[in-house]
Every structure is written in structure tokens, then in C-alpha cells.
Chain A
Amino acid sequence: MNQSINFEKIKSQLLADKELLADLYNRFDPSRPLRDDHPTYVNCQDVRGDDNILNGIGKRIVNEDKSASCYLYTGHRGGGKSTELYRLKSYLEKNDFFVIYLNSDEDLDLQNVQHTDILLACTHRIIEELEKRTSIRPNALFKWLKERGKELINFGLSEVDIQNLNLSFEQQVFPGSKIVANIKTSPSNRKKIREQVEEHIIPFKEALNEFIEEAHQKRPSETSKLVVIVDNLDRIPIVKRNSDGSNNHDELFIDQSAQLKSLNCHLIYTVPISLVYSRNAPNLRISYDGNTEVLPMIMVQDKEGNIHQAGIDKIKRLIQKRIDYAVHKFVEEKYSISIGNQIPSILLLEDIFDKTFVDGITTLDRLCRVTGGHLREVMFLMQESINFTEKLPISRKNVEKAIATSRNAYENAVDHEDWDKLAEIANKPKRIDNEEKYRQLLFSRCVLEYREVDGKKIWHDVHPLIKEIDEFQEACQRLKKSGI
């Protein structure tokens, strides 16, 4: 640390610096999920239901003496799922597991996806990773492929690919990436491949599991086992199938659950949050291991509506860390010194935000509360308020403007019929039923899911931004009048 710089002195310079303002603006970019090893990462387990992903999934995989299991993981869009999955991955790897992370939108056409596509994508990634890191060859799968004979032409493979299958085992190249690419991009091949796999699904699964079994046995450490994380399946767009409210998510994850868990390894699928509240949700409990783990929002207020200070503080910490990161980098570059990340904050939140109370609340507290504990909302509001700002500190007016912009986006996502439902959720026992009408609201984040600090009790509440919209308040009035 370079002592020649008096940080107190440069503070006022920093607050007026336009370049730093731009740095801060870019630091709250909602399109970049954090890795858990990033300096700005903040562990939120103590304010979001006590770390359910490690307890509910991670520890069970590690502790239970099984070589295969299948878990579902979900949470609101932009709530930090991917970051948590990276964390789960490092945790499992530390415990000697062989983890394969599959980003499904790279390998699948999520607009038109079915269970066989997912199985093939997993197969491809498992083979690729195992071949990269071990000497295990997918002989059983080569055999299955060769048995398809003439049909292989319909897999979108070239003559050369097919001839390669007849080489000696050492020289064979598994055309997994080609098959996966063909399913993704060529509708006619996709249809043919699906037909073939479905028709010969049992030998296919046997071959795949034989390969996995071999991998399990040959891995150097006996405890090592295979885990496949399939992320982003929650991005499959909902398509309603018929008037009873069932949709393509139900078809894939409930009707085809037996296929999805047919691999003899540990599997974790990220699914849409609305699935958990499907009418068929009880089937999920039967079909998959454990409960579907939902990543809850950071609790900024409790069920009764009292402020939960620990949650608010966590969000402040998160903002402070990102500001520190930007400020430190900026100071290092501008003054050509190396200060590292170990020194205390140069600009405090009190410097960044206007401190005056309006309506009994400071600018920063107002911002934290209205996010509802949703991380991407924190990013949006910070990004927008900085964008409105020409010189720090950020004024209350600019934060309110940012809030209005976010509120507008929510207003545009609510159907007229939904206002009464939302009023009911906010005023009633705050736990939603497995009913179709609530699913869309969870999916669009109008209703958020929370979990008590002990991780046990779950409840739902309407997004704080929505509570400020006139139509919502009118609906609450109507509800009151109707005597409930």
C-alpha cells in the first residue's frame, strides 16, 4: 500500500470525476453473472434461507452413498442461480467429484427441445470431458451408433464420419458435437435422430450407462463420481398447450421425468420456477430426489412486513464491494499506484448516496428495500440511478426516477386480470397454491419467493415495485370493500 496518497484528500476529486462515474455505471452490468471467486462476490446464504443449494443438493450428493441421483434447482430469473451453481461446482470438485457443467442454450434449441435431445447433449459433453481428462473411450456408444447402420446418414453425419466408426477403437472419433449441432440447427435431421433414439432408447441408455460405469470404475480416486449440471433449462419459453393450463414445461419435466433421470450419475437440472407450482407439482417430489431447491430472494422484510435489517445490510455490502472494486481500480490507474483490494473503502456508501431523509427513509435504504431482495433489480436500480447522475452523490430524485423506470417495466408485464390476484396475495396468508393463475406471476417475478432464515418456512409476496402502482392499490381497495 502506498502511503503517499491521502485518500481523504482525493475524495472530492473522485466524487466529481466523470470517468469514475462511467466505471461505476459499468460495474453494475446486469448481463454478467458473477463467479463465486470474483472479488465482488458476497455470500448471501444467511439471508436467503441458509444456503439451500449446498445443504439440499451438495451435501446430499457428497454424503449419500449413491452413484446416481437427480435434483431440480430453480429460482427467479436474475436471482443468482448461475452464480450459486458455480459455487456448487467448486464445492463438489473439492470433494473429489468429476463435475461437468452444461450450458443448455449452447447445446440445445430450447425453443424446441425434448428429453432425447437433453440426453444426447449430456452424452456429448460427458464424452468430451472424459476424453479430455482421462483415457476412457465410449466404446459401448460406438457400438450403439454402428448398429444404427444406414440410418446414420440421417444423423447429419458425413461418409467420413461414418467410415471413422469402423476404424480401430483407438482411432475412432465420437461425432457427438456433430449430432448435437444437427439436432439444434436442422429440423429435418432433428426429427430423424429423435425417432432413432426413441426407437432404440433402451440399448442407448444401456450403452451410455455402461460407459459411465466404466468411468466410475476407472477414475483414479475411488470416491470420484460423475456429476452433470444442466443449467439454463429454465429459459425454455412457456407455451400453453390447452385450456387446463398445462404447458410444455410440464410435458418435459413431469411427463418425461423417467427419461431425464435415466443416466447413472448425479444430475442437476435448472428448471423454471413456475414448474414448482404446477398442479402436478406433487409428482416432482416423487420423480426426483429431495424437494426442488428454490433459490429464494434475499429477505429484506419479513412475512409481517417488518424490515429485516440483516438483508438490507447484505445488499449494501454488495453495492459497497462493487463500488470498492471500481474505485480501487480507478485510483490505481489514475495515480499509477498499486493498492490491491485489502485497503478499506475509499468512497463509502455515505459518499455515494445523498444522506437526507425523505419520507422517513434515506436514499440508499429506499433503493435497497424496493428491490425486494432481487439481485438483478439491485443492478438495474444502481445502473439507472448512476445514468441519471452527472455528479456524485446520487440524489434521491434520481433514485426515484430509476425506481419509476423499473416500475414501468413491471407494469408492462402485468395483465389487467392480474391486479386482483396480486392484491389477494399481498393481503392474504402469503403462500400461494399450486394454481395455474399464480404461475405466470412467479415466472414474471411479480410475485417473489422468500425463505425464513432457518431455511424452513417459505412465503411469497408481491414485488415491492408493484405495490407502488396505482392499479395495484385500487385492487387492494376493491378487496377491502368486498369484505375479505
Chain B
Amino acid sequence: MVNLLETETTAETYRYLKNGLQRKRGFGLFFVQCSPAEGYKIFEEIKRDFPKKQITILSLEQEIDDLYSLIAEKQIQETISILFIQGLEKSLIPYLQSEPSFQVTLSGEKNIHGGQGNYYRLDTVPPILAHLNLQRERFRDNFKFCLVFLLPKFALKYLIRRAPDFFDWRSGVFEFSEDQSQMIFGKYQEYLTLASDERYAKILEIKDLIKQNLQTPENQALLWLEIGDLYFADKNYVQALLSFDQALKINPEIYKAWYYRGNALVRLGRFEEAIISYEQALKFKHDDQQSWFNRGLALGNLGNIEEEILSYDQALKIEPYFHKAWYNRGVALGALGKIEEEITSYDEALKIEPNYSQAWYNKSCAYTLQSNTQLALKSLEKAISLDEQYREMAKTDSDFDTIRNNPAFQSLIFNKI
């Protein structure tokens, strides 16, 4: 799979997790940040590496408010030495904030305050987190084994904030998540062609225009939008964000401003706030496929994959020929371990854009995981024919480990076609 970070660090992280599980005696709390598919892989691998231990998994399919009883029940049925717990995030999703709040500052000015602290709400505690936080003694005293929580990023962050006492008893945190750094695109193509000083000249020009105060408020808001776009093109995302905020202060109903604001936040790594911003854009223009798409990206970056897919589905309902949405949907399904659907999604993208090399490559990885060597090789060949870089990538990509010694694979990778 296209994943630039997959080097030995994953193997290293795995080794540390293994060390911890091997050394820990009695009760232990391990937090592993990963996608559901990775989580399952880790579980399988640990089982293989500790053949003598009783290792089992508790998959949570829906919202719960009492984990203790579930584990206690499992403990009666079987002996456990390591228990993996997957799906806790399902109990958190309903409690994520989606409304931006406006904070009135001392000067009486309204500021958009869609902070992360707001995303992980402070006016309520998800019952499952309150449960963990307050019941930690019972967990420790009654479960004499290791609990391994497999969590997406947003769930880990929520836990750190709202179940701090539980988290404080941890034996370790292990991050397996790859950074999803897919690109965002806005409508600033022409500004991209300008040199930096040209952009700043233009910014000053527009600011002057605003200062003259001859513009209607509506126009002023649009000018701020323009300024934000220029800053964005200059990669000055902080100033871009402030400019979009200015526009929204004048007119909070410009969906484009919310959308651009979301993009700036994504670039700043503030995904929680970005999601809120996109949702605000969608409030004013529900059929904006781009907002749905980028919302999906931001959700994906926090590991909220189910919601991510739903967001792409919305985008595709509006624009069925949105090939990037099909592609990203495929990647997301892969992260959930739904390989069959993943391939179908790439196929949709390739129907629209037959030369989409990335999709061919990922499809090849997916076929390999399904042990469908023939189709895997065919897709890989196609990807390489479109873009030579995939030949290099395949040389080290662990997704191909199972077919690495296959002569056909070898000749494809090492001989020019």
C-alpha cells in the first residue's frame, strides 16, 4: 500500500509492545493506536508469538457504558492472559461535538471557538469514559491480566482527556497509525502560480480596499476570503485561517469560507476543528461534495474510519464520478480489513480514470492480501507501466512479502518490461 512511513519503525513498535506484554505480570493496561485492520493483524501476530498464552479479543460492535461486566463475563468463560479490546470508539462517536461555538471576547467581539477541547466535549462525559475512570480499581484488582486497547487516534485523545485517571495507570502507549497525508485541493490554482512577493503585494492591495470602507459587508467578507486564499497559496496557514475567520465574522453564512477554513485547519493538523468547519459548510450547502470529501479526509486522519467512509458515500451520492472519493473510500475500507469492498471501490475509481496508477498499485496490494497472485501481478504491472516509482516501492513494501519469492514477481520488479 502507498505508505511512506512503513519502515522498520512498525516492526520496532511491535517489538516494544511484545516486550511489555511479555514482561508485565498481573494487571496491565496497554494502549495501541492503529486502524481496525492493523489492530487485527497485531492481535494475530501476538497470538503467533505467544503460542502458550491465552490470548483473546473482545470486539465491541455497538455503544456500551460498562466494559467491566463484559470482561468479567468473558473471564468466567475462559482463561485469559492477554485480552485485546477493539471497537471502544463506537461508544465515543455519539459524543463528539459537531457544532462550532462562538466565544465572546472581552472586547465584545465574537470569535469562532471550535477548539479541540470543544470537539471532545466538556459539558458531558461519554458514559464509557466515566466508567473507566471511576472503576479503575476494580479493573486492577479483579483482572490479573493485560488489557490491550486497540484505538483510533481520536478515541485515544478522548480517553486521555476524559478518563485521565484510567489512562494514568497505563503500562504503555504504542502508535502504529500511519499519517494519512492525502492532499487537499481548493480553488486557488491561479494564486499558486504567483511568486511569494506577488502574493503579498496582492494581499496588501486587498487590505487597503477593505480599509477604505466603501465596500458592502458582503463584499468585505468575500475580500477576506480572497486574502485567505492568497495566504493559503503561500502556505501561511495560520494567517489564512485568521482571514477566513474575518470573513465569517462578517458573514457566517458563506459556506466556502467554512470550507476553506477547514482546509487551513487540516494543514495545521487541527483535524477536530476542521471537521466542525466542514460540517458548518455543509449546513449552508448540503450538496457540496468537496466538503463531504475533505470531511472524510479529516475524519480519516483521526482514525474515525466508519464515519470517513460515510462521508465519502455522501460525496459520491452527489458526484458519482468523483474518482478520488472512490479511491479514498477504497483505502479506508482496506484499513477496516474489508478487502473485497476495497477492490470494488478501486474498480469504480478506475472506471472513471483508467490511468489512476495509485489505484492500480493499491489494488495489487489488496489482491496480494487475498492471495490472488495472478491479479495482483497484473495490477502491479499496470501500475508500473503508468509510473516507474511503483517498481521501487514494491521492492520494500511488506504487503508483497507473501509473493516476494514468486519468480513472476521477481521478474516484474527487477526486469524492465
C-beta contact mask, B68-107 vs A, less than 8 Å → 1, else 0?
0000000000000000000000000000000000000000
Cβ contact within 8 Å between B122 and A238: yes
Main secondary structure of the interface of B (DSSP, over half): helix
Are A417 and B175 CB-contacts (below 8 A) given A31-B27, A105-B137?
A: no
A21 at the interface (CB under 8 A from B): yes
Q: A22 CA to B19 CA in the complex, in Å?
A: 9
Cα–Cα, bound, A103→B140 (Å): 15
Nearest residue, chain B, Cβ from A471: B269
Residues 91 to 134 of chain B near chain A (Cβ within 8 Å): 113, 115-117, 122-125, 127, 129-131, 133-134
Q: For residues 255 through 309 of chain B, which have their beta carbon under 8 Å from a beta carbon of chain A?
A: 268, 270, 273
Contact of B20 among A31, A235, A387, A444 (CB under 8 A): A387
B382 within 8 A of A: no
Q: What A residues does B161 contact at CB under 8 A? A: 412-413, 444
B171 at the interface (CB under 8 A from A): yes
Q: Is B50 an interface residue (CB 8 A)?
A: no
Q: Taking the nearest CB of chain A, how far is it from the CB of B162, in angstroms?
A: 7
Are A31 and B25 closer than 8 Å at their CB atoms?
no
> Is the C-beta of A473 less than 8 angstroms from some C-beta in chain B?
no
A122 CA / B268 CA spacing, docked (Å): 50
B260 to chain A, nearest CB (A): 18
A111-B24 in contact (CB<8A):
no
Bound-state CA distance A241–B123 (Å) is: 7
Q: Chain B contacts of A201 at CB under 8 A?
A: none
Are A417 and B115 CB-contacts (below 8 A) given A31-B27, A387-B23, A412-B157? yes
* A128 → B minimal CB distance (Å): 19
- The answer to whether A383 and B172 touch across the interface, beta carbons within 8 angstroms, is yes
Q: Which residue of A lies closest to B23 (CB)?
A: A22
Q: Which residue of A lies closest to B103 (CB)?
A: A243
Nearest chain B CB to A283 CB, angstrom units: 23
Chain A residues near B168 (CB, 8 Å)? 30, 77-78, 376
Nearest CB in chain B: distance from A408 CB, A = 7
Given contacts A413-B161, A415-B117, contact A235 B133 (CB under 8 A): yes
A110-B134, A111-B134, A408-B173 given; A22·B22 CB < 8 A:
yes
B165 at the interface (CB under 8 A from A): yes
Q: Does A405 belong to the interface (CB within 8 Å)? A: yes
Query: A102 CB to closest chain B CB, in angstroms?
Result: 14
Which residues of A in the span 415-441 have a Cβ within 8 Å of any Cβ on B?
Answer: 415-417, 440
Q: Which residues of B contact A413 (CB under 8 A)?
A: 157, 160-161, 164
Is B171's CB under 8 angstroms from A383's CB? yes
Asked if A416 and B173 make an inter-chain contact with CB atoms under 8 angstroms apart, the answer reads no
CA A237 – CA B165 in complex, angstroms? Answer: 10
**Which residue on A lies nearest to B270, using beta carbons?**
A416
- The answer to whether A416 touches B123 (Cβ under 8 A) is no
B150 in the interface, Cβ–Cβ < 8 Å?
Answer: no
Query: Is B124 touching A239 in the complex (CB atoms < 8 A)?
Result: yes
Do B164 and A444 have beta carbons less than 8 Å apart? Answer: yes
State how many residues of chain A have any CB contact under 8 Å with chain B. Answer: 37
Asked whether A405 lies within 8 Å of B122 as measured between CB atoms, the reply is no
Name A416's contact: one of B135, B164, B165, B273 (CB within 8 Å): B273
Of all chain A residues, which has the CB nearest B21? A387
**Does any Cβ of A come within 8 Å of B170's Cβ?**
yes
* Inter-chain contact B173/A239, CB cutoff 8 Å: no
A111→B170 contact, CB < 8 A: no
* B119 nearest CB neighbor, chain A only: A415
Tell whether, in the assembled complex, residue B125 and residue A387 are in contact, meaning their CB atoms are under 8 Å apart: no
* B134 A387 Cβ-Cβ under 8 A: no
Chain B CB within 8 A of A384 CB = yes
* B156, CB-defined interface residue at 8 Å: yes
B188 on interface, CB distance cutoff 8 Å: no
A26 touches B134 (CB 8 A): no
Question: A25 contacts B172, CB within 8 Å?
Answer: no
Interface size for B (C-beta < 8 A) is 46
Is the C-beta of A409 less than 8 angstroms from some C-beta in chain B?
yes
Contacts of A111 in B (CB 8 A): 125, 127, 130-131, 134
The answer to whether the Cβ of A240 comes within 8 Å of any Cβ in the partner chain is yes
Output the residue of B22, B157, B169, B175 with the most chain A CB within 10 A: B169
Tell me which residues from 167 to 216 in chain B have a Cβ below 8 Å from any Cβ of chain A.
167-173, 175
A388 adjacent to chain B (CB < 8 Å): yes
Contact with B along A326-359 (1 / 0, CB 8 A): 0000000000000000000000000000000000
Partner of B117, one of A77, A103, A408, A440: A440
Q: For A398, give the chain B residue with the smallest CB separation.
A: B16
Considering the chains assembled together, what is the distance between the CA atoms of A384 and B133 in angstroms?
22
In the complex, A357 Cα to B5 Cα: how many Å?
A: 31
Contact (Cβ within 8 A) A105 B160: no
CB distance from A442 to the nearest CB of B (A): 12
- Set B16, B127, B133, B162: member contacting A387, Cβ < 8 A: B16
Q: Which of A105, A387, A412 contacts B156 (CB 8 A)?
A: A412
List of A residues within 8 angstroms of B130 by Cβ: 111, 237
Contact status of A22 and B16, CB under 8 A, knowing A238-B122, A412-B157: no
Are B160 and A412 within 8 A (Cβ)? Answer: yes
Of the listed residues A103, A237, A405, the one surrounded by the most CB atoms of chain B closer than 10 A to its CB is A237
B29 interface contact, C-beta 8 A: yes
In the bound complex, do residue A416 and residue B116 qualify as a contact, i.e. CB atoms below 8 Å apart?
yes
Contacts of A106 in B (CB 8 A): 137
Instruction: Report the nearest A residue to B124, measured CB to CB.
Output: A239
Task: Write the A115-150 contact mask toward B (1 if CB under 8 angstroms, else 0).
Answer: 000000000000000000000000000000000000
Contact flags (1/0) for B362-387 with A, using CB distance below 8 Å? 00000000000000000000000000
B123–A239 CB distance below 8 A: yes
Interface flags, A380-414, vs B, CB<8A=1, else 0: 10011001100000000000000001001100110
**What residues of A have a CB within 8 angstroms of the CB of B127 in the complex?**
111
- Provided the pairs A240-B122, A405-B173 are in contact, do residues A21 and B117 lie with their beta carbons within 8 angstroms? no
CB nearest to A478 among chain B residues: B238
Chain B hits for A21, CB < 8 A: 23
Min CB distance B136 to A, Å, is: 8
- Closest A residue to B156 by beta carbon equals A412
Q: Is the CB of B19 within 8 A of A237?
A: no
30 sampled A-B residue pairs with Cβ under 8 A: A22-B23, A26-B24, A26-B26, A31-B27, A31-B136, A31-B140, A103-B137, A105-B134, A105-B135, A106-B137, A111-B134, A235-B165, A239-B123, A376-B168, A380-B170, A383-B171, A383-B172, A384-B172, A387-B19, A388-B16, A409-B173, A412-B156, A412-B160, A412-B161, A415-B115, A415-B116, A416-B268, A417-B113, A417-B115, A444-B161
Which of A's residues lie within 8 Å of B, judged by CB? 21-22, 25-26, 29-31, 77-78, 103, 105-106, 109-111, 235, 237-241, 376, 380, 383-384, 387-388, 405, 408-409, 412-413, 415-417, 440, 444
Chain B positions near chain A (C-beta within 8 angstroms): 16, 19-20, 22-27, 29, 113, 115-117, 122-125, 127, 129-131, 133-137, 140, 156-157, 160-162, 164-165, 167-173, 175, 268, 270, 273
Q: List 5 additional contacts besides A21-B23, A31-B140; criterion CB under 8 Å.
A: A31-B136, A78-B168, A109-B134, A237-B125, A387-B171
